[in-house]
Amino acid sequence: MAQTQNTSLLSAALIGPALLGAVTKLDPRQMVKNPVMFVVEVVAAFTTLLFLRDLVTGGQDLGFTGQIILWLWFTVLFANFAEAVAEGRGKAQAESLRRTRTETTAKRLAGAAAAPGGPLTAYETVPGDGLKVGDVVLVEAGDVIPSDGEVIEGIASVNEAAITGESAPVIRESGGDRSAVTGGTQVLSDWIRVRITAAAGSTFIDRMIALVEGAARQKTPNEIALNILLAGLTIVFVFAVGSIPSFASYAGGAIPLAVLVALFVTLIPTTIGALLSAIGIAGMDRLVRFNVLAMSGRAVEAAGDVDTLLLDKTGTITLGNRQATEFRPVRGVTPATLADAAQLASLADETPEGRSIVVLAKEAHGIRARDMARDMGSLAATFVPFTAQSRMSGIDIDGSSIRKGAVEAVIASLESAPALVGVGAAARVLQPRLDPAAAAEVRAIAEEIAKAGGTPLAVARDGKLLGVVHLKDIVKGGIAERFAELRRMGIRTVMITGDNPMTAAAIAAEAGVDDFLAQATPEDKLALIRREQAQGKLVAMCGDGTNDAPALAQADVGVAMNTGTVAAREAGNMVDLDSDPTKLIEIVEIGKQLLMTRGALTTFSIANDVAKYFAIIPAMFVGLYPQLQALNVMGLASPQSAILSAIIFNALIIVALIPLALRGVSYRAVGAAALLRRNLLIYGLGGILVPFAGIKLIDLAVSALHLA
Amino acid sequence: MIQGWTLAGWIQIALFCAIVLALVKPLGLYMTRVFTGARTPLSPLLRPVECGLYRLAGIDERHEQHWLTYAGAMLVFHAAGFVLLYGILRLQAVLPLNPADQGAVAPDLAFNTAVSFVTNTNWQNYGGESTLSYLSQMLGLTHQNFLSAATGIALAVALIRGFSRASSRTVGSFWVDLTRCTLYVLLPLCIAYTLFLVWQGVPQTLAPYAEATTLEGGQQTIALGPVASQVAIKMLGTNGGGFFNANAAHPFENPTAWSNLVQMVSIFALGAALTNVFGRMVGDERQGWAILAAMGVLFLAGVAITYAAEGAGNPLLNALGLQGGNLEGKELRFGIPGSALFAVVTTAASCGAVNAMHDAFTALGGLIPLVNMQLGEIIVGGVGAGLYGMLVFVVVAIFVAGLMVGRTPEYLGKKIEAREVKMAMLAILCLPLMMLGFTALATVLPAGLSGPANAGPHGFSEILYGFTSAAANNGSAFAGLSGNTPFYNLTLGAGMLVGRFFVIIPALAIAGSLAAKKTVPASAGTFPTHGGLFVGLLVGVILIVGGLTFFPSLALGPIVEHLAGAAGQTFAAAGG
């Protein structure tokens, strides 16, 4: 799917099908979903019938009436066109998705073979769409995963370009938070045993296709409310226009039906009525372009309303890994000695933290990383890997023993029984020589580092504490500005972290979040969301693990990472295909943009009525009371050209606003008051003034062409 | 300065505005205490009475009602009030306190009058002194004046509770609100007010009409009665039904310039103060001031236009060399500013008392009162009714423009959703249906066409004004319309009922649904509703949604009359 590539708003390839769609959508069964445009269609059909009767029996002003009817139909068609264009963009994406959904076969494992550890050869080959939920299949290198599922055994690299557009392979493995696989993606290496979690036709790709096509589109709560308002306004204008024939007869005249219809159709909110569904579809589409799939329009709307954003520290606020930034030796030890020991202890440490220690020692103290192979061989080095019990790692090299690890763990190990260091014949027993003063000093340094938001790592050699390495969480560049922006939008950010409160507070201060939740468990997260919601706030969060699922389901906007577990993906109401948690911020902006566009066009549509009244009322009544010519403030050429110009303007403004409806009103984080002032000026005041100019211009054209 | 305006006139208008504004805070504070059940200075005196009334009626004052129960209580109470009033009017001939020997009121007129007073409209198809007994006036009309006013305030308070409460099933108790409003607010104010009016020369007597011999030796009957007590509540409760047919133009109802000023102030006092009650109860007085500001903008625009039009006078007469403003149908003791201001106040506020004949106003001068009512009398409005009518427009304005800040619409922390919009539109729809629908009917039916006294656009305005006044529960008349016919009695009555209850019940539904919602705390992203921007938006939505609905009818009535008059044309031919 080429979602990063920005198709132009109205490319030629989209217009053809959209024109056709505009006509097929005239089907009343479809039109009735849009009350305002349905009313226009009914009125247009009715006047067409009367017009045809008049054509046969002969009537007055047939040319004029015919033109009005023509523009009534154009009004309906333009509305349908807007919707068809919006849908067309989604359809194009759905097409490319469909192409990736090829016929697959599956290697189904039954009985004992289905259990992890079972034999891998006893499979039967079945068609991919014959799989049921709960079936277990084997997927080997080169196979296409037949349906959505969860890896229950094995590890494999998978090409998920079909759904993410990203061709770099990703790792999928059993257990942990990367166990979900998607039907239609391809295993590149190794094999996995997968339990199927979605039946044929309801897989992730199927849902994506339905979503981008708009087939599963339902009206959102705000759209429903807006439709009620528009229907109400339409009824108000039924009264306003419906009472005119009586009033005219009192004044001793009659108003032609076509003129009444023209007034009615121009007054009812056709502009927003025509563009409402296009705005909604375009909003979902913008998310899809952003590689985020919203499971419902309701979720997009909720995104605009979010009051509180829960952000995981790691990966969202800070770069995923902590990095060594400083060596802090105890008294009597030079920084270089500490750096040297720390580097040695980290040589075999493949974690990003370990590598950063090696790099820092090289950069800050000029200590070159040893040639591992040579050291290993000639120096008889033994690496001691990190375990959850010891909470330390290190190296026994050249007759000495170096350890690094959590401060308390290192100190505790030095206090305990004599350590056996070295290997083979070189092994000897060292007396623990824990210096209480050094321990106190290390603890003091460690506390200082923790207060600053860092993680202290004690280093000891041969039972002697050398000092502390300062590992620091690196806050992402520019993130503080983003949070300031969110604050101006009125959104509170809360950082979620497993760190202790002291560390969390320091990072929270550096990143500029409004609040933090330290030592957070999944239960804490859920409780926080509930607490915020009890205050009436809407909460957004993202997560990937199974233990995030309850919180994702509870949050008003829960963005599940595509790399996450099946449980997380099911619980969220959005899925981020790129698995980038920072995107929450953009999702909120897209939600706001959608709501703003809807509001702006509603305001514009209603404000337009002022000018239309001044065009049509004098034209309508000037035959009854010539004095009302004074209300013709636009100086329109004749009553007929005035009425025609108003209805033409009313139809053309729909087309003119399609790009805005699809693109959305631009959102700026400047606070609600400034935003409102700007939009009221443009769409409110502009909505009053623009049609005066527009109708006048059309009137000039209409009278120049002698259309009326 | 625009022709027709004088400095002295504007000083009167400014004085009026200053007094009303000065009363907003103290009255608002007092009423807030009354309706939140807090102690007031009058509590030592009135609390025992209040408790006694609850015991008598078997009401538990702590028991609050769901909005549907509240609405049910209100409807039952009004139905009973209607039956009582209808009965009194029909039976007044045999009941006591009838020194002028008034006969029974005709069924259609009794229906119209009973509906009119129960709905706080007080349309007068009767002449008070020539139709009603003292008992009818006091027990029937004055009684309903109090209760329909108290009902309006009670409903406004219920709607305010909808905004101020969160996650609540109830909106208050109708019986408690009604009792407290009558006992603590209306009665004490009316007693003081009545004494002031008596001092100014308004009669307050149960003695029969006075017989006088004129200088020519002829016999004249001078109508008297318990006038002052009824006038007090008629103004304070924005009822507007006069004791006499001439209403506040009658020297016994409104004798002096002072009584005129105080009567105008009293029409606005409670309605304006309710905006402050609103602000206080939702915890931000600025919200109340913003609403009052929107009302104020529309009010001052109306006053400026009416005053200018009346001050400039009739162009046809001016063309004949007659200078000065339009004094036709006005009392000289009030003059042009006093009459123009009174006309705008009484129609802005659903009062309907008149101290000049609106029918005799210039076309534009008469246009403003008409527009004031067509907007739904939300400019200060009828006591309570003005506030809940305005809040209905606020719901629509917020819904239309609220999205433009990038959030789903919310007002004072309450999300405005489908249910609120539906109810608000229902309330807004019923007014044009009644006003335009019945006018359309009356302008084609012979029974309707026999009503207006004038031909042409002015006759049209008379019919339109009648139905507008009824549906808006105003009660003032463009005097030209002869409304005491079965057709007008019934259609106007229907207009009043729909205009009252089809606004009240949706407003209560909004209250119930809002009270049940959580309150979203405000943030930098919240739509600001206390500043000038919001006031401008609200005024714009009111004028476009409320005003444009009536533009065709106004064009065929006052606007064309104004344009024709300016061009020196008249519409003399009978039948238009």
pLDDT of residue B573: 44
Coil, strand, or helix at residue B365? helix
d(CA A408, CA A394): 16
Q: Is the pLDDT of residue A214 over 70?
A: no
- Of A39-53, A337-351, B450-464, the poorest mean pLDDT is in A337-351
Average pLDDT over residues A545-574: 82
pLDDT of residue A108: 87
d(CA B419, CA B513): 8
The catalytic position among A135, A206, A285, A312 is A312
Give the residue from chain B lying closest to A307, CA to CA.
B523
User: Closest Cα of chain B to A438: distance in Å?
Assistant: 51
A110 compared with B330, residue with greater pLDDT: B330
pLDDT of residue B574: 38
- Nearest Cα to A189, choosing from A174, A219, A169, A209? A169
d(CA B40, CA A518): 50
Q: Is A312 a catalytic residue?
A: yes
B13 compared with A465, residue with greater pLDDT: B13
Helix (H) or strand (E) segment spanning residue A646 = helix A639-663
Give the residue from chain A lying closest to B419, CA to CA.
A225
Distance of CA B504 to the CA centre of its chain: 14
pLDDT band of residue A9 (cuts 50, 70, 90) is low
Q: Is A544 annotated as a binding residue?
A: yes
Phi, psi torsion values for A395, nearest 5 degrees: -150, 140
Average pLDDT over residues A647-661: 95
Mean pLDDT of chain B: 91
Q: Are A459 and A360 in contact (CB under 8 A)?
A: no
Q: Is the pLDDT of residue B302 over 50?
A: yes
- pLDDT digits 0-9 by tens, A240-291: 999 999 999 999 889 999 999 999 999 999 999 999 989 988 888 888 888 8
Cα maximum dimension of chain A: 123
Q: Is A391 annotated as a binding residue?
A: yes
Q: Would you call B422 and A228 a contact, using CB atoms and an 8 Å cutoff?
A: yes
Helix extents (H) in B201-284:
227-236, 257-281
- Of A123-132, B59-68, B542-551, the poorest mean pLDDT is in A123-132
Average pLDDT over residues A38-43: 96
Helix (H) or strand (E) segment spanning residue B415 = strand B414-415
Pairing outcome for strands A539-543 and A557-561:
parallel
Query: What are the chain B neighbours of A603 within 8 Å (beta carbons)?
Result: 400-401, 404
pLDDT of residue A3: 40
- Picking from A233, A236, A675, the nearest residue to B406 by CB comes out as A675
- pLDDT digits 0-9 by tens, B349-382: 988 899 999 888 999 999 999 999 999 889 998 8
- Picking from A228, A538, A613, the nearest residue to B548 by CB comes out as A613
Average pLDDT over residues A488-492: 86
Q: Is the pLDDT of residue A215 over 80?
A: no
- Of A84-98, A310-324, A424-438, the poorest mean pLDDT is in A424-438
A226 touches chain B (CB under 8 A): yes
d(CA B11, CA A256): 50
Question: How high is the ipTM of this complex?
Answer: 0.93
Q: Is A387 annotated as a binding residue?
A: yes
Average pLDDT over residues B259-266: 95
Average pLDDT over residues A6-11: 54
Buried b (16+ CB within 10 A) or exposed e, A589-612: bbbbbbbbbbbbbbbbbbbbbbbb
A633 touches chain B (CB under 8 A): no
Mean pLDDT of chain A: 84
- Picking from A487, A489, A537, the nearest residue to B521 by CB comes out as A537
Query: What are the chain A neighbours of B401 within 8 Å (beta carbons)?
Result: 599, 602-603, 676, 679-680, 684
Q: Is A362 annotated as a binding residue?
A: no
d(CA B504, CA B156): 9
d(CA B233, CA B251): 18
Q: Is A390 annotated as a binding residue?
A: yes
Q: Is the pLDDT of residue A371 over 80?
A: no
User: Closest Cα of chain B to A601: distance in Å?
Assistant: 9
pLDDT band of residue A373 (cuts 50, 70, 90) is very low
Query: What are the chain B neighbours of A622 within 8 Å (beta carbons)?
Result: none
Give the residue from chain B lying closest to A679, CA to CA.
B404
Average pLDDT over residues A654-680: 90
A679 touches chain B (CB under 8 A): yes
Give the residue from chain B lying closest to A608, CA to CA.
B544
- Of A187-201, B138-152, B411-425, the poorest mean pLDDT is in A187-201
pTM strictly above 0.90: no
Average pLDDT over residues A609-634: 92
DSSP-assigned letter for residue A561: E
Pairing outcome for strands A392-397 and A400-405:
antiparallel
- Picking from B432, B524, B556, the nearest residue to A240 by CB comes out as B432
Q: Would you call A603 and B400 a contact, using CB atoms and an 8 Å cutoff?
A: yes
Q: Is A389 annotated as a binding residue?
A: yes
- Picking from B404, B556, B559, the nearest residue to A247 by CB comes out as B556
In the sheet that A382-384 helps form, which strands lie side by side, from edge to edge? A318-329, A464-475, A454-461, A400-405, A392-397, A382-384
pLDDT band of residue A616 (cuts 50, 70, 90) is very high
pLDDT of residue B575: 35
pLDDT band of residue B487 (cuts 50, 70, 90) is very high
Cα maximum dimension of chain B: 79
pLDDT of residue A560: 86
Q: Is the pLDDT of residue A92 over 80?
A: no
| Interface size, chain A vs chain B, as Cβ–Cβ contacts under 8 Å | 231
Q: Is the pLDDT of residue A571 over 90?
A: no
Query: What are the chain B neighbours of A239 within 8 Å (beta carbons)?
Result: 429, 432-433, 436-437, 549
Within 8 A by CB and 6+ apart from A564, the residues are A177, A178, A180, A543, A544, A545, A548, A579
- Nearest Cα to B467, choosing from B445, B506, B499? B499
pLDDT of residue B305: 94
Select the residue from A36, A219, A247 to test the B interface by mutation, using most B Cβ atoms within 10 A.
A247
Query: What are the chain B neighbours of A244 within 8 Å (beta carbons)?
Result: 552
Q: Would you call B560 and A492 a contact, using CB atoms and an 8 Å cutoff?
A: no
Q: Which amino acid is at A530?
A: R
Q: Is the pLDDT of residue A76 over 90?
A: yes
Q: Are B385 and B507 in contact (CB under 8 A)?
A: no
- Picking from A591, A621, A672, the nearest residue to B405 by CB comes out as A672
Q: Would you call A536 and B166 a contact, using CB atoms and an 8 Å cutoff?
A: yes
A301 touches chain B (CB under 8 A): yes
Q: Would you call B552 and A617 a contact, using CB atoms and an 8 Å cutoff?
A: yes
Q: Would you call B407 and A242 a contact, using CB atoms and an 8 Å cutoff?
A: no
Query: What are the chain A neighbours of B404 within 8 Å (beta carbons)?
Result: 596, 599-600, 603, 675-676, 679-680, 683
Q: Is the pLDDT of residue A524 over 80?
A: yes
Q: Would you call A621 and B555 a contact, using CB atoms and an 8 Å cutoff?
A: yes
Q: Is the pLDDT of residue B291 over 50?
A: yes
Query: What are the chain B neighbours of A226 within 8 Å (beta carbons)?
Result: 399, 421
pLDDT band of residue B455 (cuts 50, 70, 90) is confident
